[in-house]
Amino acid sequence: MNIVIIHGTYHKGSTAYCADQIIKQLDPKIIPNVQTFMAPVVYPSLCVGCFKCIVESEEHCPHNKQSIALKQAIVDADLVVLTSPVYVFDVSGSMKNLLDHFGYQWMSHRPKQTMFTKLGLSVVTAAGAGLSSTEKTLKTNLRWWGMKKVFGFKQAVMSKSVNEISPEVLSKIDVQAKKVAKKISNAYLKPQSKPEFLTRFYFGIMRMGKKGHPEWNELDHAYWIKHGYFNQKPWEIRVSHGTMNP
């Protein structure tokens, strides 16, 4: 299983620890091949809001060069993991910045066909509060990227550092990590043919809206025509050699 983990911080703390626990607990039949990225390393500068990714091409983003390895890792991944500690009831600024840089591939713009075959996982820790709103940000992005199925792990660790987590909380992490790992393993080993309801629902809404409106965004419209999204659902389209378009 190709796994890409994108951390919302420079450091590997409690949140990264939880993500690692989940990967360790995957079914033994699964051999994980993990690539790890740190959001502030990939994108040290903020999205400048130039709209180039949305109306010209993602290659015209002023920060495109530094993101090529990450983008390839996402295309190659079976499981995409986004992690963030709760910072004032939401994701870290670095994670939000990374998500902004991927706005062009939301289903409202140019979703990649391969996304509809991938599993997504959001991993969030907080000292105590703000887990749900933070998880919502990560899950919303994974869904709007077109992920087939999205899982979540969230835990209040009552701590500011991984070394200070109490044995009670560590054992809660262990139990929860096993549960999430089991769900991911099942989804990977016995895959469903279609994405989950929310992904299909959002795609359907976007298709209805975009169909008669090339003027909303000509680049998006041409992309949807090229990929056949107005005629077929992306998860049902096969290209000639049997794989999907990245």
| Positions in the binding site for ligand FMN (CB under 6 A) | 9, 13-16, 85-89, 125-130, 157, 159-160, 162
What is the smallest separation between the CB atom of 190 and ligand FMN, expressed in angstroms? 32
Nearer to ligand FMN, 12 or 182 (CB): 12
- Nearest approach in angstroms of CB 10 to ligand FMN is 9
Q: Give the CA distances from residue 34 to residues 16, 24, 61, 98, 239, in Å, rounded to whole numbers and listed in that order.
A: 13, 11, 27, 19, 27
C-beta of 125: minimal distance to ligand FMN in Å?
A: 4
Return the residue matching tokens 């995957």: 26
- Opening angle at CA 10, ends 5 and 12, nearest 5: 60
Nearest to ligand FMN of 27, 164 (CB atom): 164
Whichever of 48 and 127 has its CB closer to ligand FMN, that residue is 127
| Nearest distance in Å: CB 135, ligand FMN | 12
Exposure string of 184-203, with b = 16+ CB inside 10 Å and e = fewer, is bbebbeeeeeebeeebbebb
**Residues near 24 by beta carbon (within 8 Å), at least 6 away in sequence:** 177, 181
The residue (of 89 and 230) whose beta carbon lies closer to ligand FMN is 89
Helix axes 131-144, 197-211, angle to 10 degrees: 50
Q: Phi then psi for 200, rounded to 5 degrees?
A: -65, -40
Q: With respect to ligand FMN, which residue has the nearer C-beta, 89 or 216?
A: 89
Residue 222 Cα to chain centre, angstroms: 25
What residue is closest to ligand FMN based on CB? 13
Q: Which is nearer to ligand FMN, 6 or 107 (CB)?
A: 6
Question: What is the CA 228 to chain-centroid distance, rounded?
Answer: 24
Least Å distance between CB 82 and ligand FMN?
13
**Minimum distance, C-beta of residue 19 to ligand FMN, in the bound complex (Å):** 9
Check the CA dihedral 244-231-223-117 and report its sign.
negative
Task: Please report, as a single letter, which amino acid is at residue 65.
Answer: K
